[in-house]
Amino acid sequence: MKRAFVTGVTGYIGGSVARRLLQEGYHVTGLVRTPEASERVAAQGIHPVVGQIDDGALLSRCARAADVVVNAADMAHRGAVEALVEGMRGTNKTLVHTSGSSIVSEFGEGELSERVFEDDTPFSPDPPKVGSVAINRLVQDSARQGVRGVVICPPMIYGRGTGSKRDSIQVPALIQLSLAQQAGVHLGRGLNVWSNVHIDDLVDLYSLVIARAQPGDFFFAEAGEARFLDIAAAISRMLGYGGRTVSWPIAEAIAAFGEDAVRYSGASNSRVRATRARRLGWAPKHTSLLHEIEQGSYREDFARPSDPAR
């Protein structure tokens, strides 16, 4: 039986990928931080290892014992990635590191950027993202050390996960803001665009990459894009507010959530294309975030029972 080690196994991506690996016949070990989390993942058939992402010796041991390692815990934790690479050095086994398309996001203050990035499009990251880009390169360069290192870089992820954490961050946060305002909320004019991908399609890509990718490959994971204004309107309709939207001033959003959250998420553009993933054979089945909001899992989870459209 093949063995997999997953960091971030209690999270949205890591938990969903771990469940797929179990379905594919892997013995899955997952890093957890607490005994309580250990019980939850054990109930799912995952073998828990209690420890911290800072414990390099533990990560190296677990990585060395696995055939496939999926790092979905923290895209910016260089020490963890170095420990995983060290544990796998010379084995030619697979390390899949999870990055994020905020590495190419552009702060547009709610305005549209026409710039679109493919997997090999050159770019210079903003200073806060330099470390994450360097970690991606570390994983890709691990091929020279006998590691089949690959990077998957998703944009906005949506849909219901299959692990312990079933929701993403961005869309539920926008829904909660909209509930508070009784209208869909966007920043500035909301003309900024993010690419997106459904969690099920993203998990499909992990499976495909593990089976087919070449050492050093980098994959954006995109299956559509949407303006934040349109996302806000879809949320408004789903919640029963008739499509009404309001603009949240960017200065107020920064005061509430911090500059990085606004600059690299809600008011920015992050437009990518999954050209290499599609050449590998990836064929996403879910291509509309707006439909998922209005007719899918978000409607099931958030729409009011009294809403006649429900």
Residue labelled with tokens 């992820």: 157
Q: Examine the pLDDT at 128 and tell me if it is beyond 80.
A: yes
Handedness of CA 265, 8, 200, 305 (dihedral sign): negative
The reported pTM is 0.95
d(CA 165, CA 273): 27
**Lowest-pLDDT range of 67-71, 104-108, 152-156, 216-220:** 104-108
231, 290 Cβ separation under 8 angstroms: yes
Q: Which amino acid, one-letter code, is at 200?
A: D
* Other beta carbons within 10 Å of 107: 18
User: What is the pLDDT of the chain when averaged over all its residues?
Assistant: 95
Structural domains for the chain: 3-158+197-220 (3.40.50.720), 170-196+224-302 (3.90.25)
Q: Is 60 left (phi over 0), alpha (psi -120 to 50) or beta?
A: alpha
6, 70 Cβ separation under 8 angstroms: yes
* Other beta carbons within 10 Å of 281: 11
Grade residue 171 by pLDDT with cuts at 50, 70 and 90.
very high
Q: What backbone phi and psi angles, to 5 degrees, belong to 179?
A: -60, -40
Separation in Å, CA 123 to CA 47, 49, 133, 279, 297: 40, 38, 10, 22, 35
Mean pLDDT of 87-108: 96
Q: Examine the pLDDT at 119 and tell me if it is beyond 50.
A: yes
